[in-house]
């Protein structure tokens, strides 16, 4: 209808211009009175017939324009209707991304590489990211529930022992200590989950500042008695509390899981923090899994000091600051972790 209306308006304008030019060009100078009168009558008759037939032709062509425009718009918008129908079908599905399910479907637009295919590919990419996010959320909730269930089961067993009237003083003391250790583990786990959730939501502009990464690293190294090397002043833009948590997690992991008498090397250079230790050898294929929540390296006790969130929190904080985290096995064992952060001088 829009195409037909535009054609009708432009056609009417063109018709009016043609008739005006025809009337203006019909005036003749030097003719006699009789000739002039006859010429005027012929001109008026021709103009009237021309107006009638051209108006009819305009109406017919306007109807044809509407029909052709409707047909053309239908062919052009047909892929959009198909994409809408597929999107509605996908919205009605219940995605299954666990247990080998088929997962979410895709629009999978076929055809030339035009704007519609680009739109479909963009929508498919959005679906892929949403599927990965929901999958990660499900796994995270399942792992968190499992991790929280372990100390609760331990506490329940200890309480049952403590309620036994025949328990000795030594058994009661061990029960109290077990309950205290389990409670501390639960606190660390909850604190880690809160930090992870805060870092994954991103940082607002008011939550960041230009700070010296070397100073933050030096403060955390002093707590663990570790020397720091590299540049003295490295400016980055970020949240001081989260960056301190990032450094603390890396150093704590390097110290806790180092070999007896091993070395922990910490350095800061040009916006890159490197933490390495000489702990047990790590297989390169196992390194990516260490950044997943509740993943522990070899030799880590489930009731030990860690909650399995250290490196996942490091990665989340680095990504929230626009940085990256990489890790690789050390040449003499252990792990070498590098965190790269953008410079904060210009920000």
Dihedral, 235, 240, 242, 245 alpha carbons, nearest 10: 90
Does pLDDT of 252 surpass 50? Answer: yes
Percent of the chain at pLDDT exceeding 70? 79
Report the pLDDT averaged over residues 68-75.
84
d(CA 247, CA 314): 8
Greater pLDDT, 300 or 82: 82
Does pLDDT of 3 surpass 80? Answer: no
- List of residues 6+ apart from 330 with CB closer than 8 A: 276, 277, 278, 282, 336
Does pLDDT of 100 surpass 50? Answer: no
CATH of 115-198, one of 3.40.50.920, 3.50.50.60, 3.30.1450.10, 1.10.287.130: 1.10.287.130
Q: Residue 277: in which H helix or E strand, if any?
A: strand 272-277
Greater pLDDT, 149 or 63: 63
Worst-scoring range by mean pLDDT, 68-77, 198-207, 320-329, 336-345?
Answer: 198-207
Report the pLDDT averaged over residues 293-316.
63
* Sequential DSSP letters for 15-60: HHHHHHHHHHHT--SS--HHHHHHHHHHHHHHHHHHHHHHHHHHHH
Does pLDDT of 312 surpass 50? Answer: yes
In CATH terms, the fold of domain 207-340 is Heat Shock Protein 90 (3.30.565)
Does pLDDT of 336 surpass 90? Answer: yes
d(CA 43, CA 23): 8
Identical fold, 115-198 and 207-340: no
Q: What average pLDDT is seen over the chain?
A: 77
Is the distance from CB of 281 to CB of 207 less than 8 angstroms? no
pLDDT of residue 328: 92
Per-residue pLDDT tens over the stretch 143-169: 667 667 767 777 777 777 777 777 778
Does pLDDT of 333 surpass 90? Answer: no
- List of residues 6+ apart from 270 with CB closer than 8 A: 231, 234
Does pLDDT of 111 surpass 70? Answer: yes
Residue ranges per structural domain of the chain:
2-87, 115-198, 207-340
Does pLDDT of 346 surpass 50? Answer: no
User: What burial class does residue 166 get, using C-beta atoms within 10 Å of its C-beta: 0-12 exposed, 13-18 middle, 19+ buried?
Assistant: exposed
pLDDT of residue 337: 94
pLDDT of residue 338: 93
Per-residue pLDDT tens over the stretch 13-60: 887 787 777 666 555 444 556 666 767 777 777 777 777 887 888 888
Per-residue pLDDT tens over the stretch 200-244: 666 766 778 888 888 899 988 988 888 888 666 788 888 888 888
Does pLDDT of 64 surpass 80? Answer: yes
pLDDT of residue 306: 54
Terminal-to-terminal C-alpha distance of the chain: 53
Is the distance from CB of 227 to CB of 221 less than 8 angstroms? yes
Q: Residue 265: in which H helix or E strand, if any?
A: strand 264-269
Pair type for strands 335-340 and 324-329: antiparallel
Position 97 confidence tier, pLDDT thresholds 50, 70, 90? very low
Q: How far is CA 284 from CA 239, 266, 300, 310, in A?
A: 31, 21, 18, 19
Greater pLDDT, 307 or 163: 163
Greater pLDDT, 288 or 30: 288
Greater pLDDT, 51 or 70: 70
Pair type for strands 272-277 and 324-329: unpaired
């Amino acid at each position: 209808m829009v195409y037909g209306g535009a054609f009708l308006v432009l056609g009417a304008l063109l018709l009016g211009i043609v008739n005006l030019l025809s009337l203006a060009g019909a005036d003749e100078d030097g003719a006699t009175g009789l000739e002039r009168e006859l010429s005027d009558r012929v001109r008026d008759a021709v103009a009237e017939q021309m107006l009638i037939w051209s108006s009819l032709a305009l109406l017919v062509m306007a109807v044809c324009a509407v029909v052709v425009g409707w047909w053309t718009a239908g062919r052009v918008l047909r892929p959009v209707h198909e994409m809408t129908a597929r999107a509605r079908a996908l919205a009605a599905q219940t995605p299954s991304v666990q247990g080998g399910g088929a997962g979410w479907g895709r629009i999978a637009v076929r055809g030339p590489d035009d704007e519609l295919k680009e739109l479909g590919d963009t929508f498919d990419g959005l679906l892929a990211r949403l599927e990965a996010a929901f999958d990660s959320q499900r796994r995270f909730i399942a792992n968190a529930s499992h991790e929280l269930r372990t100390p609760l089961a331990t506490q329940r067993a200890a309480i049952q022992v403590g309620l036994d009237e025949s328990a000795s003083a030594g058994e009661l003391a061990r029960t109290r200590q077990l309950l205290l250790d389990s409670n501390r583990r639960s606190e660390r786990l909850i604190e880690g989950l809160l930090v992870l959730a805060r870092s994954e939501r991103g940082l607002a502009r008011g939550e960041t500042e230009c700070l010296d990464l070397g100073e933050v690293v030096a403060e955390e190294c002093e707590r663990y008695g570790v020397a720091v090397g590299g540049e003295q002043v490295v400016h980055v833009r970020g949240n001081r509390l989260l960056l301190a948590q990032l450094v603390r997690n890396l150093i704590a992991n390097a110290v806790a899981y180092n070999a007896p008498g091993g070395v922990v090397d910490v350095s800061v250079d040009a916006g890159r923090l490197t933490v390495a230790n000489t702990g047990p050898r790590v297989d390169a294929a196992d390194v990516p899994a260490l950044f997943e929540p509740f993943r522990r390296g070899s030799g880590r006790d489930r009731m030990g000091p860690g909650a399995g969130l250290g490196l996942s929190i490091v990665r989340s904080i680095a990504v929230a600051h626009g940085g990256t985290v990489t890790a690789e096995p050390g040449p003499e064992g252990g792990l070498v972790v590098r965190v790269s952060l953008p410079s904060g001088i210009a920000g």
